Amino acid sequence: MCPDLSTRTVYAGEERLKPHHALTTPIFQTSTFTFTDTADMAAFMEAQAQGRETTRLEYGRYGNPTVAVVERKLADLDGGEAALLFSSGMAAVTVTLLTFLTAGSHVILTDDSYRRTRQFVTEFLVRYQVEATVVPIGDDEALEAAIRPNTRLIFSETPTNPRLRVVDVPRLVEIARRRGLLTIIDSTFATPINLRPLALGADLVIHSATKYLGGHNDLLAGIAVGSREMIGRLRQAQALIGAICDPHTAYLLLRGLKTLALRVAHQNRTGLEVARFLEGHPRVRRVYYPGLPGHPDHAVASRQMRGFGGVVSFELDADLETTGRFVDALRIPYIGPSFGGAEGLVEQVALSAYYELSSEERAAIGISDSLVRLAVGLEDVADLIADLEQALERAFTTAPA
Domains and CATH numbers, the chain: 5-28+64-257 (3.40.640.10), 260-397 (3.90.1150.10)
Could you tell me which residue, 268 or 398, shows the higher pLDDT? Answer: 268
- Per-residue pLDDT of 118-142, as tens digits, reads 999 999 999 999 999 999 999 999 9
Q: Is it the case that residue 161 has pLDDT exceeding 60?
A: yes
Q: Is it the case that residue 195 has pLDDT exceeding 80?
A: yes
Task: Say what the pLDDT of residue 379 is.
Answer: 97
Residues 36-59, mean pLDDT to the nearest whole number: 88
Closest CA to 39 of 47, 31, 27: 47
Closest CA to 73 of 6, 18, 4, 8: 8
Poorest-confidence range of 53-67, 157-171, 319-333, 345-359? Answer: 345-359
Residues 206-221, mean pLDDT to the nearest whole number: 98
Task: Say what the pLDDT of residue 386 is.
Answer: 98
pLDDT band for 14, please (50, 70, 90 cuts): very high
Residues 36-58, mean pLDDT to the nearest whole number: 88
CB neighbourhood size of 319 (10 A): 12
Distance CA 376, CA 384 (A): 8
- Is residue 76 part of the annotated active site? The answer reads no
- Is residue 61 part of the annotated active site? The answer reads yes
Query: Catalytic pick from 76, 114, 165, 212?
Result: 114
Query: Catalytic pick from 56, 61, 235, 269?
Result: 61
DSSP per-residue letters across 325-345 = HHHHH-SSSEE-S--SSSS-E
Q: Is it the case that residue 361 has pLDDT exceeding 80?
A: no
Task: Say what the pLDDT of residue 197 is.
Answer: 98
Distance CA 313, CA 64 (A): 38
Question: How far lies 37's CA from each of 28, 30, 34, 173, 326, in Å?
Answer: 22, 19, 9, 50, 66
Task: Say what the pLDDT of residue 401 is.
Answer: 54
In sequence order, what are the residues at sequence separation of 6 or more whose Cβ sits closer than 8 angstroms to the Cβ of residue 356? none
Quick one: DSSP state of residue 102?
-
pLDDT band for 113, please (50, 70, 90 cuts): confident
Q: Is it the case that residue 146 has pLDDT exceeding 90?
A: yes
Rounded percentage of the chain residues whose pLDDT exceeds 70: 99
Burial of 51 (0-12, 13-18, 19+ CB in 10 A): exposed
Burial of 281 (0-12, 13-18, 19+ CB in 10 A): middle
3-state helix, strand, coil in the chain (%, to 5): 45, 15, 40
Query: Catalytic pick from 163, 165, 211, 362?
Result: 211
Task: Say what the pLDDT of residue 400 is.
Answer: 58
Q: Is it the case that residue 176 has pLDDT exceeding 90?
A: yes
- Is residue 62 part of the annotated active site? The answer reads no
Q: Any idea of the CA torsion for 346, 351, 353, 357, to the nearest 10 degrees? A: 160
Query: Catalytic pick from 76, 78, 168, 186?
Result: 186
pLDDT band for 1, please (50, 70, 90 cuts): low
pLDDT band for 272, please (50, 70, 90 cuts): very high
Residues 151-166, mean pLDDT to the nearest whole number: 96
Residues 38-66, mean pLDDT to the nearest whole number: 89
E strands of 200-342, at which residues?
204-208, 222-226, 284-288, 311-316, 334-335
Q: Any idea of the CA torsion for 281, 342, 338, 227, to the nearest 10 degrees? A: -120
pTM beyond 0.75:
yes
Residues 162-184, mean pLDDT to the nearest whole number: 97
Residues 6-34, mean pLDDT to the nearest whole number: 92
- Is residue 114 part of the annotated active site? The answer reads yes
Mean pLDDT value across the chain:
94
Closest CA to 249 of 215, 207, 220, 213: 220
Task: Say what the pLDDT of residue 399 is.
Answer: 62
Contact (CB, 8 A) for 208 and 188 = yes
Task: Say what the pLDDT of residue 54 is.
Answer: 79
pLDDT band for 309, please (50, 70, 90 cuts): very high
Residues 180-209, mean pLDDT to the nearest whole number: 98
pLDDT band for 356, please (50, 70, 90 cuts): confident
